[in-house]
Amino acid sequence: MFLSILGIVFPIFAIVLVGFLYARRHTPDMTAANRLNMDIFLPALLFIVVADDSFKPGAFGVLALVGVAIVLGSGLLAIPVARLSGYRSLTFAPPMMFNNCGNIGLPLALLAFGQEHLGGAIVLFLVSNTIHFSLGNWLLSRRASWIALIRNPILLATLLAFGVNLGGIPIPEMAWHSIDMLGQISIPLMLFSLGVRMTDIDLSDWQIGLVGAVMSPLAGLLIAIPLVYFLGISGVDQAQLIIFSALPPAVLNFMFAEKYSQEPRKVASIVLIGNFVSVAVIPVVLYAVL
């Protein structure tokens, strides 16, 4: 079991470490690379998985609903903790709601369950990101840009893939392989970029960062575990949901906080310390579900 878990987590944290060490020496600007990943590479990956004949949209309805419950429930649990700790709810709650289901969640699913089960992790990723760009954006700005959400390349690629899947539309083999090759860039690049971001850890707000690092997986697990047992979810879906619930906060939380001036330095501490602590949390969760 130890070797199995090591085989899953080692490639993930090894690539993150490479990004971290490279950034410490060369300080690369990842802005263009991250934009390419969000606009081209990740949408290509989602298209390939969702458009494939083996992806059955109807099989993920319960998974998606529980994913919504985990996201919203984690936020509700975080509010009283924030108030008792003297933190602003809008600073503390969003990082508890929106986890790193892209940078870490997708690679974990791929390595733990294989390409054939990546669809579940992608559904949870889409659930989290759709809520983040709608409700999450509204919470911080009191206005949700529905046009920006609709124009999101990730959403557009997913809707197109659903159309191809449900309509049985054939994709020429040469086009399929081209899209597949673009999609294969996304996961390693996400991990490398996360490592680069880890060089920005600021320990001046370590208290809120540490509280967030503990609260993020705890809140998710408190929602996920009762639901999967109450609903009788088992097998890979159960494992996917529990892993999803225990993931650290997403880097996107910092970007939103910076955009709307919602104490971005504190949010950065929550995100970065949470991801650092996940090095210990994720192997434990994997041991419990595998």
Domain ranges of the chain: 2-289
Q: Between the CA atoms of 228, 234, 239 and 242, what dihedral angle is there, to the nearest 10 degrees?
A: 10
Output the CA angle 247-249-250, nearest 5 degrees: 105
Say whether pLDDT at 148 is over 90.
no
Q: What is the mean pLDDT of residues 52-61?
A: 87
User: Which pair of structure tokens corresponds to residue 54?
Assistant: 């083996």
Say whether pLDDT at 110 is over 70.
yes
**What is the model's pLDDT at position 101?**
93
Instruction: Name 173's Cβ contacts closer than 8 Å, sequence gap at least 6.
Output: none
Q: Residue 99: what are its φ and ψ, rounded to 5°?
A: -100, 180
Distance CA 283, CA 256 (A): 29
**What is the model's pLDDT at position 5?**
87
pTM over 0.75: yes
Distance CA 239, CA 28 (A): 36
Distance CA 38, CA 170 (A): 25
Distance CA 156, CA 224 (A): 29
**What is the model's pLDDT at position 84?**
95
Give the fold, CATH level 3, of 2-289. Answer: Na+/H+ antiporter like fold (1.20.1530)
**What is the model's pLDDT at position 144?**
59
At how many degrees (to 10) do helices 89-97 and 252-259 cross? Answer: 150
Instruction: Name 207's Cβ contacts closer than 8 Å, sequence gap at least 6.
Output: none
Say whether pLDDT at 30 is over 70.
yes
**What is the model's pLDDT at position 206?**
87
Q: Residue 56: what are its φ and ψ, rounded to 5°?
A: -110, 100
Most confident of 4-13, 68-77, 246-255: 68-77
Confidence of residue 145 (pLDDT cuts 50, 70, 90): low
